[in-house]
Every structure is written in structure tokens, then in C-alpha cells.
Amino acid sequence: MTHVRIGLVVPSSNVTVETEMPAILGRHPGADFSFHASRMRMAKVSPEQLAAMNAQRERCILELGDASPDVILYACLVALMAVGPGEHQRVEGLVAEQLATGGAEARVRSSAGALVEGLQALSARRIALVTPYMRPLAEKVVAYLEAEGFEVTDWRALEVEDNREVGCIPGDRVMDAARSLDLTGVDALVISACVQMPSLPLVELAEQELGVPVLSAATAGAYSILRAAGLPVDIPGAGSLLRADSLQPTA
């Protein structure tokens, strides 16, 4: 059984990444994973706090580098997307440079980049989103994805500003928001464009009910990690993106 060490850079109030990523990757048939997180202090998802959080990136990477992870996931999507188009490539480049300068071999990914990668893997062009953010931030997420070449046909902002509360949004509320979207002609639904809003149990459910491929920032992050680690993408019960290499026919 291959062992893979995953470094996670998470906002300090985030509890969902460290819940959902092990839950997803724990289902992998051929590898086992350990998770090692470093935290950037952030409680309120506001532009000021997001900027202050990004300034802690260097310290977090220094800490994680000491654990020799195989892959590092920079797991705060809105922190990058709120800065503007191209930010995930820029930050991934800086983290990669920081690691390479010190001779570390860890691969670098981000939740923002992973969402783009996952949507591209699904050959999606027209997409719909559910986000927990206040409207202005949600609009930045939409603009970011449009700059990456996607057409966001419909989206929801649940307007929960406190990041601790985002971690407690009930699944029903997320599902209702997803059901309320106009999914005509949509190639994929991002049921949670946020790594703090819990959504893992909803992904497969929504895919069955709504009849379109469904992913979340978390499932996309897992996809990106598996590709970075060179492992087959074959995880049951978490949406068709994570069955990309499965020999079973998709339901």
C-alpha cells in the first residue's frame, strides 16, 4: 500500500478540509494517506482578513516543509480568488519556488487551481455554483472562473460571513440552493465552491438527483492530489470526477 503524506495549508477556523479530505482519500483502494496541516489565522471571510491570511503563507510552507510532504494543498479557495484572475498560478509558483529553493520535493496544488483542474477534467464549459459567501465575494469567485474560460450560468451566495458558521451550514440548505439553480445546459455543478462549507455527503446524492456531474472544492482537491501523486482516480460515492479511472461503469 503506497503511503502519501499530504500537507494542508488551511484557514485557522477551517474544520471541513481536515474532515472531508481524509474521508474522501480514505476510500482509495491502493494508497493510504496522512494529513498534516498548518494554519493561517482567519475568522471572518472579509477582504481584509483574507489579505492578512495570505501574508502567513510563507510561515505555513516553512512549517509543512519540515514534514516532507509528498503534496501540499493550499486549501483556501476564496483567499486566492478574491485577489483576482491568475492568482492561484502566481501563488502556486511562489510556493513551488519556496520549496524548490530549500530542496523540498513536494508538489504544490491549491483548492482554487484544483477546482479549475476538476472542471477541465470533466470537459465542462457551462457551470453552476453554490457558495456560502457574501455577494461581493461570490461575484469575485464567479469572475475568477469566467476568466479561466468557464461560463457561469447560475449561482447562489448563502451570505454567511463568519467562517465558523460556514462550517456548520446544514446540508439541507446547500441542497436546497443547488435545487434552486437553473441547470439547463449545464455541464457541471459545483455544489460547494468553498472548502469550509460541508458538502461531501451531498455530492453523489446531487449527481443522482439532478442528473449532471457534481463536484465540490473538496472533491476537486482530492482529484488534484491524486493526479499530483500519480495515483489512479478511483474513489467511490463522491461524484463522477473521482471515478475518472474507475473500471466500473458510472451509475
Partner 1 sequence: MSSLSDQHLVRGVDHAAFPTFDPVGTVRFYRDTLGFPVVHSICAAGWGPEDHPDFIHFFFDIGNDDRIAFFYYFGLPKPEVGKGDVYAQFGDDTPDWFVRSRHLAIHVDSEDHLLEYRRRLDASQWPVEMQIQHETIESIYTHDPNGYMVEITRALRPVTPQEDLDANLTIDALVDIAQRPGHGMDDLLVRKAELIVERAEAWQAEQEVSS
The set of catalytic residues is: 76, 194
C-alpha cell at 126: 457551462
CA distance 71 to 225: 7
Q: CB of 147 within 8 A of CB of 85? A: yes
Burial class from Cβ neighbours inside 10 Å (0-12, 13-18, 19+) for residue 247 reads: exposed
Does position 55 interact with partner 1 (CB under 8 A)? The reply is no
Rule CB under 8 A: say whether 146 interacts with partner 1.
Answer: no
| CB nearer partner 1, residue 61 or residue 121 | 61
Kindly state the smallest distance separating residue 227's Cβ from partner 1, in Å: 23
Q: Does 99 bind partner 1 (CB under 8 A)?
A: yes
What letter does residue 243 receive in the DSSP assignment? G
CA 154, 158, 164, 165: dihedral to nearest 10 degrees?
-140
- Contacts with partner 1: how many residues (CB under 8 A)? 13
46 contacts partner 1 (rule: CB under 8 A): no
Q: Does 89 participate in binding partner 1 (rule CB under 8 A)? A: no
Enter the C-alpha cell of residue 37.
Answer: 496541516
Contact 142, 152 (CB under 8 A): yes
Report the residue from 2, 68, 120, 180 that binds partner 1 according to the rule CB under 8 A.
68
Considering only the stretches 92-100, 114-122, 134-142, 187-195, report the one whose residues sit in contact with partner 1 under the rule CB under 8 A: 92-100
Residues that bind partner 1 (CB under 8 A): 58-59, 62, 65-66, 68, 97-99, 101-104
